[in-house]
Homo-oligomer: A and B are copies of this chain.
């Protein structure tokens, strides 16, 4: 039981270095590395430089890769040219902290309180980056690493990964790897060991129906003119089947054409990591009654593509009423994609559908089009998945929860393609961590668990 011994070493190392790990974590959290805000550009660069120092001190050959956006922190630790190579992906940027008045301590003044670290990024993704680097540092010091490790920490995950996406194709050689490890996901609410098996792809756009040069008096014109809200509402209501056994299915022609269905094995496995209907009700006050009624909740979230209306704006929205026929109406749509669906093609199908339903005499305009990235599904037979399962099993006797999460990290699909690597996603986030919300946190016990898991995982990687 070589790995069992490794656990002892990691436990000892954690005890000895916990204070330093927490200091590193706090240092990282103090950078206001908000990638969506141009005013925080310097904070992002300072954060990247701090991380470069960190990995260099760990004996990585490190560099900052300049992009059209924020710099990428990159490093290599090569043990042997013939050994497998693991690429670790993380991000150092964070979501904006607003609304600030809801934070109990400063969003960029990390505070360890009641066993939890509070700060923006505490969990997503600075906390998870810190424990992975900490574990790698221990393995390097203990001479326990049998594979090459590359580190890729980008600074625009929260804002579309523009820099990394646009430069990735040129860095094929640099990013080449056998597996890519990502710890930017969550575990099941029970805290059982979790492995994320898939992420959906993403495409999005905004559509505006322009009818009149300005809002019109609903009395003087009402009855004679078409209403752009009524028309756009009608169009929105054509996006899904509304009745029969297909109720909830996307009703756009060709939408499901390229979808590669999930296997029976995946379907079964997805039940291990599912959120129960009661858990839904407890946290949201609502049961999961939406979407395609033919599929289970876990399948609908994990495998099935969606068309979601993210916003609808038209006419008067203030207090009271205003008797107008609005000049225009806008809706924002995003599509979560299943395996095989090409974001650009889906975007085209959606636009064609919208255009074919546009009323005569109104102008339909598209905006904010984004073909983010395709879906990712982890190969059930991946040897690297076996390594993650093994690391989990050493830390816990509980059954592993396999999760097809439904969310998207669009750039990962790109990196998988470019690097040739198979993905492994193991995260330690929980709903209580408040990702993207005020009072983000990560419990110290899960931080430690992430450290131990990462150590065991990387130590357990060997040639297959």
Contact = CB atoms under 8 A, between A and B. Distances in A.
A454 interface: no
A315 B436 CA distance: 12
A204 B438 contact: no
Interface stretch (A142-150, A265-273, A377-385, A403-411): A403-411
Contact of A214 (B211, B406, B437): B437
Nearest to A331: B229
B102 A221 contact: no
A292 B223 CA distance: 7
A100 interface: no
Contact of A224 (B216, B290, B311, B318): B290
Contact of A227 (B214, B285, B308, B370): B308
Nearest to A250: B223
Contacts of A206: 321
A289 interface: yes
Contacts of A316: 98, 310-311, 332
Contacts of A330: 317
Interface in A422-437: 431, 434-437
A227 to B, nearest CB: 6
B310 A321 contact: yes
Nearest to A302: B223
A95 to B, nearest CB: 7
A171 interface: no
Contact of A219 (B218, B242, B408): B408
A361 interface: yes
A314 B329 CA distance: 12
Contact of A286 (B199, B200, B361): B361
A437 B215 contact: yes
A109 B63 CA distance: 59
Interface residues of A, number: 98
A190 to B, nearest CB: 16
B286 A406 contact: no
A220 B301 contact: yes
B213 A96 contact: no
A336 interface: yes
A64 to B, nearest CB: 23
Oligomer copy total: 2
Interface in A128-151: none
Contacts of A233: 232-234, 236-237, 309, 312
A236 B225 contact: no
A101 to B, nearest CB: 12
Nearest to A219: B407
Query: Which one of A229, A323, A334 has the highest number of Cβ atoms from chain B below 10 Å of its Cβ?
Result: A323
B290 A225 contact: yes
A324 interface: yes
Given A221-B301, A280-B224, A437-B216, A323 B308 contact: yes
A115 to B, nearest CB: 21
Interface in A327-342: 329-332, 334, 336
A217 B435 contact: yes
Interface in A315-363: 315-326, 329-332, 334, 336, 360-362
A287 interface: yes
A50 interface: no
A332 B336 contact: no
Given A215-B436, A330-B317, A322 B310 contact: yes
A68 B221 CA distance: 32
Interface of A: 36-38, 95-96, 98, 102, 159, 186, 199-200, 202, 204-206, 211-227, 229-230, 232-234, 236-237, 239-240, 242, 280, 284-292, 297, 300-301, 304-306, 308-326, 329-332, 334, 336, 360-362, 368, 370, 405-408, 431, 434-438
Given A222-B406, A223-B301, 6 more contacts: A37-B319, A98-B316, A102-B214, A213-B285, A224-B288, A317-B332
11 contacts: A36-B322, A96-B322, A205-B321, A212-B286, A217-B407, A217-B435, A227-B309, A230-B236, A233-B237, A234-B237, A313-B317
What are the 5 closest A-B residue pairs judged by CB atoms, nearest first? A219-B407, A311-B315, A224-B288, A226-B290, A233-B236
